[in-house]
Structure formats: C-alpha cells, structure tokens
Structure 1
Amino acid sequence: PCQLGADDWFGLTEHGMLTSTVADAVVGFSVLAGRRPDKLVPPARLRVGVSLRSPVRGVSPDAPNRDAVAAAGRLLAAAGHDTVPTDPVYPTRLGLQGIATWFAAAAADVRAAGVAPRQLQRRSRRHVTLGEWAQRRGYVREADRTAWRERSVNFFADNSIDLLLTPALAGPPPEAAGWSGRSWLANMSANIRYAPYAAPWNIAGLPSIVVPVGRRPDGLPVGVQFVGPPGSELLLLGVAGQFEMQAPWARHAPGYPRVGTGSPATA
C-alpha cells in the first residue's frame, strides 16, 4: 500500500466511479487505470462468501438489506456461481484505528486550509480536536493499516473464496433534518450505524463494488457490496454485468427529468 499522507486522508480516499450502467463503470475504471477499456467476459464459476456480520458491534442489517443479500445470492446461483457462508473477523481495534484516522484526516484538512477552529461548526470542532489528539498519541500508523490489509488478503485465500458478498448498508439513510445543529456524537453514531460495511475494506485498500438489487418497501433503492482481493476489479465488474443482465435496474429515478427533454423519466 502507498505511504500514508494527509492529502489522501491517510490512505482512506481513492478515485472511483458512480455510474448507472456497468459499461460506464468499465470505461471509468479504464480511464483511471490509463488504458483502453477492457472487454468484459462472463466470469467462470466462482465461489462467493456471503456475510451479514456487521463490522460494528451491536449493529445488524435491517430486513430490506438482508433480503437484498438473499436476492443477490439467488442471482449468483442463476449465473452458475456457488455461495457459502463466510464471516470475516473484524477486530475491535480495527474500528478504533479507522475512526482515529478519520478524525486525523479532518484535522489535517483544516490545518491545510488555514481555517481557525472558531470558524467551524461545533460538531466539526470536536472532530478536529480529537483528530489532533489521535495524531499526537500515535494512533494513525501505516503499520496498522498494512497488518489489516495482509489479514484481509489472507481471508480470501484461507476461505477459498473469490469474492465476498455483504450488505451495502445496515439501514435506510438518515433523514436530512438539520444534522449541522445536532451534536457531534449524534452525527457520528448515525453515520457509523447505517453504513458500517465499506469501512474495513476501504482501510485495507481492497477493490469493491456496490450493485443495485431492487427497492426497499419505502421505495428507496437497495444494493449489495462485493469485495475482492487485489487485482479483482474486472472480476467484480463482470459479476455486476451478470446482475445487470439478469435483473436490470432503472437508470433514472421515477419522475426524474431526462436531460434535454424537460419530460419526466418513465423507466
């Protein structure tokens, strides 16, 4: 992994794509890789680990997210792949290290921008203060991230799986209701509890992709996350392509105006 630097949030940030088709994601990935777009081929029979285990203790996926993983398992089977229960072990210290790095990255951004603490919202001041403290205490270390990355890579080999399937989220997104006026603790808790699944693999620097698999009862889209070992980007895109062929998703939200037409989408 690359050296930790404040300019990339100590290794937590990476360029990626948000697309409405797998073909567009392939083009975007190729642009980032500096090469011509690859031609996707259907993956050979895969062994996919399936896990509902949350990286955050006391947090579990709600029914729509559990159903999404079950639906993804059926799509994998229809595509000729095998699924097996496979739960990663998420050490408690991993969460603490990830949070400390998140704090420190925000503090580094504030320093780089030359922003005075008094100019920040109350919740942001707390975040930055804890980030400065975490760095002073030596809680942001490349060795910790490297150790977790090695453990994550070994997880795939030790369990003889090609990919891991998890929920993308644990619940619906928090309501947009004046979070800037709420406490730092309320903001932290809401973010960690509804979206815990991507962080461990982000810290490890492993490739992953989120694929739509339907809608929640409240009408919001629901997706699942696939994670793979280093170099599995095209494999992840290939599986996403199989999902898109078997269960195509709408490219536009209902009622969303199509660009240049002024008319609502019907898809």
Structure 2
Amino acid sequence: MAAPHELTALEQWQALQRGELSPTELTDHYLDRIEALDPGLGAFVTVTPEAARERARFVEEHVPRTRPLWGLPFADKDLQRRAGVPARFGSRLMRGFVPAESDDLVRALDDAGGVSLGKTSTPEFGLPSYTETLAGPPARNPWDRSRGAGGSSGGAAVAVAARLLPFAPGSDGGGSVRIPAAACGLVGVKPSRGRVPSASGIDALGGLSVAGPLARTVTDAALLLDAMIAPRGGHPQHLFTLRAPGDDAPLLAAAVRGEGRFQLGVMTTSAWDSSYPIEIAPEALAALAVAVDGFAALGHGLEETALEPDDTYAPAFRTIWQAGAAGIPADTPEQEDLLEPLTRWLMRRGRELSARDLAQALTALSAYERSFIRQLSRFDAVLTPALALTPRPLGWYDAGDGERNFAQQVQYTPFTSMVNVSGLPALVLPVAETADGLPMGVQLIGRPGGEATLLALGAQLERRLRWQHRTPPEPGPPSLASNQFDGDFRSNTRF
C-alpha cells in the first residue's frame, strides 16, 4: 500500500474500515510528517501529539466505526476553541488564553470520530485574506514558499496541500476557505448559510461566516462536509429555526457519482467593480478558459453573464468588516499595542460606527443578497475565476495603511465576499497552473442549498482534468527567513 499521506482521505477512511490501518498508526504517521516538515511551512501554531494519540486510542476502543470520520486526523483552525488547548486567534493579544470549553464545530468533528492533531494558523482574528502575522511565522504556499497561502484558513490549506493532514475544516466569512484553497491548489467549499448546524452563519454579523472543508479532491471535501452537517451520519440537528433549503441526502454520493448536465453562467464581473479597479490577470482568465472548455466538452450549457453595477455594496461591506473588529478584547493602550496595525485600524474604525451606520449597512447587504440571487437564478451554477491574481508574494500587502490594504485584498479576491453576503454555496477547484507552477482555480457558485450540484460539477471536471494528482514539491529544511516574526508563537507544550 502507498504511504498513507499519498492516499485520498476517502481511501484512508476505507483502509481504516478494512483494518489495514489503525487510527493510532495514521495519527503517528501524520504527527511524524508535521514534526519533520511543518517548521518551514507555518501550517500549525500548536501541535498536540499526546492528546492526539490518546484520542486515537479512544476512537479505536470506544467509538463506532460507523462514524463518518472514524480515525481520520484533522486539525482545528485557531479561531476555534478546543478545551484545554491554547486558542491564540493569530494574535499576540491572546497569548496564554486556554479555553475551558470547546466550540460547537469542534465537538461536532469529535462526535464524527475524527482525531485532532492541533491548531492551524490564521491571521489576527481571521480578519485579513492572507496569513501573515506578527505573532508567528507566515503560512507559506507549498508550491512556492516565497508566496503566501491566502487566508484566513491559510494554515489549514498549507497542511492539506503539503500532505500534513488528509483534509481540514476552515471558516469562510468573505472567502476564507476558498481563497487559500485556490492559492494552494485545493478544493474548498463554502456551504449555504444554515447548512452546517454547528457553524451556520445565522448567528454571525451579516450572516457572513460559515464553516467549510478544504481537501485535495471533491470527494474528500464532501466526506468532511457531510460530517460537519450530520456528525453521527444521521439527520442534521439544526440549532436554529432557519436553515438552508435542500434535502439532507449525503453529499458524498453526489461527489462520487458526478452525474448530471447543467446550465452554467460564466462571469468575470464582481460586486466590487463599481468601487475599485479590478484587473483580472491573464493566468486567472486562462484558468477560467480551461474550465469553460472542460464543461463544454462534458455537455453542459454555458452562457456569459454579468452583474448589474451596484455602488452600495462596497461601503456596506466595509462597514460590516470594520464592525466585526469592534468587539476585539483590547480595552487599554497596552492591549492595543499588542494588535497589528491593520487590526488596530479596523477596530478603531469599527468603534466609531453608529448604530445607524450598522443598520444601513445591513439593510444594503440584505438588498444586495436578493438582487444577486435574482440575477443568477436562471443558472444551475455560475462559473467565475477563483482569484483575480496569482498567489501573492509574502509581504505584498501594505500592513500599515488600512485603506490600501483593504483595496489590495479586494483586488486579489473580488469574487468571494459577494457569495457570503448572498448566503449561497460555492466551490473552488484547481484547474491549471502558471508558467511558474503555481496553481490557479475557478469558483462555482450554486443556488441556495445547491451543494450537491456543485460537487457533481466539480467531480466531473476533476475526472477530466486530473489536477488532483499533482503534488507540490516535498518541503526541505526550514530556512532562517521562515522564522522572522515577533516571538515564538508555535507551541511546544504537550497536550
């Protein structure tokens, strides 16, 4: 049998079910890879080997094999609280914080039979779309370590792309699963608002942030997403009266079958076009063309479409982004000094907002949601570039100028946040590479509750292009440059 990390997550699960691997053996295999390879990549901020081995033994002895993630390793994004494990939120401000209770998503993944190996890195409080912090080393793109991994689920993407994990959960409030998935050559899914009970987005400001999977294949992403939705493999236990439409059939079946013919829109406009100069790189357009040609050859209908200009979107989204930083627990000058310049700027701007400002922004985004869904309603899915530019070099963002930083993020990721505002599902899929070997992907936006259609489309294109068989170079020893940050953020404590 191939080395476990060379198998897909589904193949690893099947090997566990057949008894060819045990949860303990698989956990040890990945812990060894993390210890050897991660110091030069910055995927993890905390590794919990003792707790992981104890958990793997518990799963072997006490957890039914019928659980959907039985024995499969994963890691929590460091915006999620796991009882007894440091939760740093990518910030020097939170150093030393160890929660006493776990978040709902953490408990759901445990209930599904998974084995957490630690915490993956994230930017400060998950606010930027890149994972470069003063509190720890940057998350380096495994395809080119001089490039960033995107964010805010940057560490999760690095870990999966470098085969340090079979898959990983992330969170997506403006593209934070899809951006790093695209930058690192992975499949990333942002579910419909309300689809994942333990991280539905319904209780988030503006309904923006939901949990979703990052994986190497469409079926692996569906495997993890099913477990997020229904941890015990049964009917989802929704925590809110509002939930996404669509049936509760396992999404893995749709991904494995990859069946159906659909009508697709093809779009290169975004919600930001009225407010920022958006230029799409030739590499991004080339990737889109690969996907268009592939879907046409598969027999799908394709039609160009464009969004109506809307100058209300940008100021309303900016308001929500700033308001989201207002609650950061920095109430003294000493605490503010521990924040990064961008976070400090966002927090101060957020605290200057009035209730009227916030209400007007929420009203504008609600109107945009209805408009966006109406404009795309004649399509089964809409195809866009995943990112407008190639993966950005480390240090590309202006950390000291909030306005310029915001513009840079918009110009790199114009196609993602409008999907969060609309509450729709979306899937990012790698389809091509640049002349320098960097992955480039496309995004499919679905109808409300339309994850099964997206997974079926993704599986069809994946079978045709076979991009999932490409692997980044195996990381070598870390360079001195990989550890230039303010303090030793990586936890060496055994949990």
Normalised to the residue count of structure 1, the TM-score between the two structures is 0.85
Report if the CA contact (8 A) 1:6-1:105 is conserved.
no
2:414 paired with 1:218: no
2:92 matched to which residue of 1? none
Q: Give how far 1:212 is off.
A: 0.6
Aligned to 2:14: none
CA shift at 1:179, angstroms?
A: 4.8
| Matched residue, 1:22 | 218
Classify 1:175/1:142 alpha carbon distance in 2 versus 1 (closer, same or farther; 3 Å): same
In structure 1, what is the Cα distance between the partners aligned to 2:271 and 2:263? 22
Mark the CA change 1:137 to 1:146 in structure 2 (over 3 Å): closer, same or farther. Answer: closer
Is 2:424 aligned against 1:206? yes
Shift of 1:190: 1.6
Deviation of 1:200 (Å): 0.8
Q: Look up the SS of the partner of 2:326 in the other structure.
A: helix
Aligned residues: 253
Corresponding letter in the other structure for 1:204? S
Distance in 2 (CA, whole Å) between partners of 1:241 and 1:5 is: 26
CA distance in 1, matches of 2:432, 2:424: 25
Q: CA deviation at 1:227?
A: 0.3
- Separation of aligned partners in 1, 2:285 and 2:387: 10
Partner residue in 1 for 2:272: 56
Choose which of 237, 261, 270 in structure 2 pairs with 1:45: 261
Which residue does the alignment assign to 2:412? 194
Pick from 326, 329, 338: which aligns with 1:119? Answer: 338
Q: Which of 173, 178, 182 is 2:391 aligned to?
A: 173
Contact 1:164/1:226 (8 A) holds in 2: yes
**Contact 1:53–1:60 (Cα < 8 Å) also in 2:** no
Is the deviation greater in 21-30 or in 141-150?
141-150
| Larger gyration radius, structure 1 or structure 2 | 2
Matches within 5 A, 1:1-267: 8-34=204-230, 35=233, 37-38=250-251, 39-40=253-254, 41-57=257-273, 58-108=277-327, 110-111=328-329, 116-140=335-359, 141-157=361-377, 160-177=378-395, 179=397, 181-250=399-468, 253-256=471-474
Which is helix-richer, 1 or 2? 1
Answer with 148-157 or 186-195: which moved more: 148-157
Relative distance call for 1:175 and 1:161 in structure 2 (3 A) is same
AA in 2 matched with 1:233: E
* Unpaired stretches in structure 2, ≥5 consecutive residues: 1-192, 195-199, 235-249, 476-495
Identical-residue share of aligned pairs (%): 27
CA offsets 1:145-201 (integer angstroms, 9 cap, x no match): 3322222222233xx211111111111233212757532233222211111110111
- 2:271–2:313: 8 Å Cα contact kept in structure 1? no
* Distance change in 2, residues 1:173/1:9 (3 Å): farther
TM-score (norm 2): 0.47
Q: Which moved more, 1:144-153 or 1:232-241?
A: 144-153
Do 2:259 and 2:456's aligned partners in 1 also have CA atoms closer than 8 Å?
Answer: yes
With over 3 angstroms needed to count, the CA separation of the structure-2 counterparts of 1:237 and 1:135, relative to structure 1, is: farther
Q: Over aligned residues, Cα RMSD in angstroms?
A: 2.6
- C-alpha offsets along residues 191-233 of structure 1, whole Å, 9 cap, x if unaligned? 1111111011111110000011110122210000100110110
Structure 1 residues 101, 90: closer, same or farther in 2, change over 3 A?
Answer: farther
